[in-house]
A = this chain, B = another copy of it.
Amino acid sequence: MNADLAARVLAGERRALARAVTLVESTRADHRAEAAALLETLRGHGRQALRIGLSGTPGVGKSTFIEAFGMMLVARGLSVAVLAVDPSSTRSGGSILGDKTRMERLSREPSAFIRPSPSLSHLGGVSRRTREAVALCEAAGFDVVLIETVGVGQSETMVAEMCDIFVLLLAPAGGDELQGVKRGIMEIADLILVNKADGELKSAATRTCADYAGALRLMRKRAQDPEGFPKALTVSALQDDGLDRAWEEMQALADWRKAKGHWQDRRAEQAAHWFEEEVRGGLLARLRTDREVKRRMAETGARVADGEISADAAAREMLTWLKG
């Protein structure tokens, strides 16, 4: 069955791809094993999509941008997959890309694939699932894979670790909005796009863009960047303005990195990074899944809560037991 599913994914069948993504999203042990086998079967297809990470806080017009940008790519004869990473706080819930109606036009395009955000889970789970979904879209032959994330917590760093180019989408700001963007995000952005450069906000967008261009110039130049990068541009997703330019800049950057070998180096580093992450995740999973370990953790935790033993002494005791 998996061999068939693999063949259909490789043939670019949307329904097979959707089923494969559902499989990698499942946490059931038998599904996990199937997913791992499927991904192994798909290895070595030699296809490489351009993986674009896109971050932006709610209100910057992310859906409108993805739809317009995606339609522009489709018009150029390219296929595009859109995935979402939404590691929302476990307390407050919250979601992006809840359904496909956000991007109605794009979702009707035969060469587009839009995957809504899966239900909440721990960050590690979100990360592996998304990474595997990216691998599936790549195997299915997509030219561009857009990985969308809301601008909170560690999700940007995670997305940056699985994309070739990282784009930060911003809205025009009044005043010192610059402070609002975390420095860490500025440092991983390859391209800053100030959206809504239309109508009344046009001049504000131009000003905001100039502010960010200035801030980017003050930052340390990265070895894997050609002259002029990272770059800030204005776009209007609503009026379909500046999207071609943005795409050309992304391509220029990608071509330069490929020519210099930085592209391949980065993918290699990312793979090594995810290997380490998986090992860490696997070690911790034992605490959640092994029945005997869980029982002992609960017992020891209760002794700590009762004040019978300190948290640190209890942890040392538990670690010794886990090693034995």
Q: Which residues of B contact A268 (CB under 8 A)?
A: 305-307
Contact between A272 and B316 (Cβ–Cβ < 8 Å)? no
A2 CB within 8 Å of chain B: no
A282 located at the interface, meaning its Cβ lies under 8 Å from any Cβ of chain B in the complex: yes
Chain B min CB distance to A118 (Å): 18
Distance in Å from the Cβ of A283 to the closest Cβ of chain B?
Answer: 5
Check if A297 is an interface residue, CB within 8 A of chain B. Answer: yes
Which residues of B are found within 8 Å of A322, using beta-carbon distances? 279, 283
Stretch of A67-75, A107-115, A177-185 that contacts chain B? A177-185
Interface of A is mostly: helix
Determine whether the beta carbon of A311 is less than 8 Å from that of B183: no
Complex A-B: 12 CB contacts under 8 Å: A39-B312, A91-B187, A92-B183, A92-B184, A268-B305, A271-B305, A274-B311, A275-B301, A276-B287, A276-B301, A278-B315, A279-B287
Given contacts A180-B180, A310-B43, contact A280 B284 (CB under 8 A): yes
Q: Which 6 A-B pairs have the closest CB atoms?
A: A278-B315, A268-B305, A275-B311, A274-B311, A282-B319, A272-B301
Which residues from chain A sit less than 8 Å from chain B, CB to CB? 36, 39-40, 43, 59, 89, 91-92, 94, 152-154, 179-180, 182-184, 187, 268-269, 271-272, 274-276, 278-284, 286-287, 297, 300-302, 304-307, 310-316, 318-319, 322
The CA of A271 and the CA of B286, in the complex, are separated in Å by 21
User: Taking the nearest CB of chain B, how far is it from the CB of A51, in angstroms?
Assistant: 15
How distant is the Cα of A95 from the Cα of B22 in the complex, in angstroms?
Answer: 43
CB proximity of A291 to chain B, nearest CB, Å: 16
Which B residues lie within 8 Å of A286 (CB)? 283
**Contact status A319-B283, CB under 8 Å:** yes
Q: A268-B305, A271-B305, A284-B283 are in contact. Are A311 and B278 (CB under 8 A)?
A: yes
Contact partners of A153 in chain B: CB under 8 A: 153-154
Q: Is the CB of A315 within 8 A of B180?
A: no
CA distance A231 to B286 in the complex (A): 41
Q: Are B91 and A184 in contact (CB under 8 A)?
A: yes
A275 near B314: Cβ-Cβ < 8 Å = yes
> Whose C-beta in chain B lies nearest to the C-beta of A175?
B174
A283 CA to B311 CA, complexed, in Å: 15
Min CB distance A318 to B, Å, is 5
Known A271-B304, A304-B272; contact A284-B282, beta-carbon cutoff 8 A:
no
Q: A39-B310, A153-B154, A272-B304 are in contact. List 16 more A-B contacts (CB 8 A).
A: A89-B184, A268-B307, A269-B305, A271-B304, A272-B301, A272-B305, A272-B311, A275-B315, A276-B287, A278-B312, A278-B314, A280-B284, A282-B319, A283-B284, A283-B286, A283-B287
For residue A174, give the distance in angstroms from its CB to the closest CB of chain B.
8
Query: What's the minimum C-beta distance from A284 to chain B, rounded to whole angstroms?
Result: 6
User: Contacts of A316 on B, CB cut-off 8 Å?
Assistant: 36, 282
